[in-house]
Structure 1
């Protein structure tokens, strides 16, 4: 195993396991099972589960559901704070190395694509410039996200092709990086090589039709279990002022419902559609990574199959 070469030193210890892939495939349960069998601790790698109070809409495991297994990178941000990949990279790396130093197995679980890559790969993030960022955020507010995406397509067609035309925050960041560095946004992306710490990367997926049915059920259950009330409570502590939290799938749709844009039934349907679209993006992203060992979430012997892959991975 090659040592990590970022600023913080690597530590010796058990090889981490990452359980990644699309939403609703069963990653959380598999992560818990692996942690139980191997003596591990969970490191969350779902960006929205970083937020305190965002529980129902992110399918965050309750304390009882965590089976007494230590969990890290949950409930570390207020909804008014901005989640950033760079901050996550630094704090999660410390967690993984501390777990390894204790002799436990870090089990990294989640599907936030850039967060996964930031933790497992060499990724030095370009500096930010408040004035440049403020300029592009002002353009976004004045002209709208579609016009800003057109501008990105003019200066960096590759970045425009890879970023959704509705993702204003990432478009602003891409334009900021291009202006600061004079290079394409993709030039700052990491090179995929051996994952940090020799991490074994397991990808969980399911048949598309079956997964769509699971997403539909999960969406309906979130609303039945109090997502609307959860959003209402979070509004009282500043959800609308947050840059990233308010845009989370489900939360954005409920906020729009509060604003009278549509009724409850349409909020549910739009949440389902938004989640399904996000799953397609996750699948496309993770399928491009040759290090991922894919496993069927519907496998009745899922844990044993995963353990065989872990055992067969090269040292």
Structure 2
């Protein structure tokens, strides 16, 4: 039997990926091809982080099975290597059951780690903890200087403010003597990958992001964070630093006003979205489409992508057009 395709939906924040993934799964199911969604967002994996991650609600999932959502406690530190194995196991299981896996999420590194040849050096909790303690003690700029002294070519490729990546680089350098800051070539690890990207004008993207952040606050993000603090959010090195969550924590601490927190979240999300686009635009394997402006355009695009994935809808007698 031919290998079932793996569909990957990429694009910047607020481009409508999650909604399109559900619509695509439904379009495939109407063709008699079961399909399920696999989350590749680094924050959607956390239980309780719903509003600030724009996690699809039960209604928005429309009965489509979603994998790797709410699988980690907020106190856990997310590992790309661990996620890679979990996601590949899900994809393999989907294929075994005759199901098309639709990967969707805003974390380009996580997506590439799943579908591409992507190997991770080993880790040592004691070594990492020592460098993390050093980061907490001296701050990110000093630690970046430490890295530059040990391996200037590595430090050049890591932003000075990316403390987590600096710690990882120092850990790997200590364990192996080397660290590759550049990403590996565009080589698929999985067979049958189809990547589709959503593009939208920067002005539209910026406006959607602002609307989304304001809606998150209106939907109760502050109350969500306050509840998560009682579950150990501050102890979670990954979860507590998520956009929106770190700003609300500062509000709760009294070090940031709410209006300023909202503005910082909007600015940070826009910056992140531009970074996402930079990642995706370098990948020549992605086929790009305009991001849907409404549900009608979304459903039309879902039908088109379903046709590109498994062929025409036998009930409609049409294919991509």
Question: Whole-Å Cα distance in 1 between the matches of residues 96 and 11 of structure 2?
Answer: 27
Question: Whole-Å Cα distance in 2 between the matches of residues 210 and 204 of structure 1?
Answer: 13
Q: What residue in structure 2 maps to residue 67 of structure 1?
A: 62
Asked if residue 118 in structure 1 is aligned to residue 113 in structure 2, the reply is yes
Q: What residue in structure 2 maps to residue 146 of structure 1?
A: 141
Q: CA RMSD in A?
A: 1.9
Q: What residue in structure 1 maps to residue 260 of structure 2?
A: 266
Question: What are the Cα deviations for residues 49-92 of structure 1, in whole angstroms up to 9, with x where unaligned?
Answer: 00000000000011111000000000000001111111111111
Quote the offset at 1:163 in angstroms.
3.1
Instruction: Tell me which of 66, 83, 92 is aligned to 2:78.
Output: 83
The range that moved more, 296-305 or 274-283, is: 296-305
Q: What residue in structure 1 maps to residue 171 of structure 2?
A: 176
Instruction: Tell me which of 209, 212, 217 is aligned to 1:218.
Output: 212
Do the aligned residues in 2 keep the contact of 1:120 with 1:196 (CA within 8 Å)?
A: yes
Specify the SS of the correspondent of 1:176: helix
Do the aligned residues in 2 keep the contact of 1:177 with 1:185 (CA within 8 Å)?
A: no
Asked if residue 208 in structure 1 is aligned to residue 202 in structure 2, the reply is yes
Q: How does 1:1-315 map to 2 (within 5 A)?
A: 13-39=3-29, 40-186=35-181, 189-298=183-292, 300=297, 301-307=300-306, 309-310=308-309
Change in CA separation of 1:160 and 1:305 when aligned onto 2, cut-off 3 Å: farther
Change in CA separation of 1:159 and 1:34 when aligned onto 2, cut-off 3 Å: farther
TM-score (normalizing by structure 1): 0.90
Do the aligned residues in 2 keep the contact of 1:12 with 1:100 (CA within 8 Å)?
A: no
Question: Whole-Å Cα distance in 2 between the matches of residues 306 and 154 of structure 1?
Answer: 49
Question: Whole-Å Cα distance in 2 between the matches of residues 117 and 86 of structure 1?
Answer: 11
Q: What residue in structure 2 maps to residue 8 of structure 1?
A: none
Question: What are the Cα deviations for residues 212-238 of structure 1, in whole angstroms up to 9, with x where unaligned?
Answer: 000000000000000000000000000
Question: Whole-Å Cα distance in 2 between the matches of residues 290 and 192 of structure 1?
Answer: 8
User: What 5-or-longer segments of structure 1 have no aligned partner?
Assistant: 1-10
Aligned residues: 301
Quote the offset at 1:113 in angstroms.
1.6
The range that moved more, 149-158 or 70-79, is: 149-158
Change in CA separation of 1:297 and 1:161 when aligned onto 2, cut-off 3 Å: farther
Question: Whole-Å Cα distance in 2 between the matches of residues 193 and 218 of structure 1?
Answer: 34
Change in CA separation of 1:119 and 1:80 when aligned onto 2, cut-off 3 Å: same
Change in CA separation of 1:311 and 1:99 when aligned onto 2, cut-off 3 Å: closer
Question: Whole-Å Cα distance in 1 between the matches of residues 154 and 260 of structure 2?
Answer: 32
User: What 5-or-longer segments of structure 2 have no aligned partner?
Assistant: 30-34, 312-321
Question: Whole-Å Cα distance in 2 between the matches of residues 223 and 163 of structure 1?
Answer: 32
Quote the offset at 1:246 in angstroms.
0.3
Specify the SS of the correspondent of 1:50: coil
Do the aligned residues in 2 keep the contact of 1:293 with 1:309 (CA within 8 Å)?
A: no
Question: Whole-Å Cα distance in 1 between the matches of residues 157 and 279 of structure 2?
Answer: 10
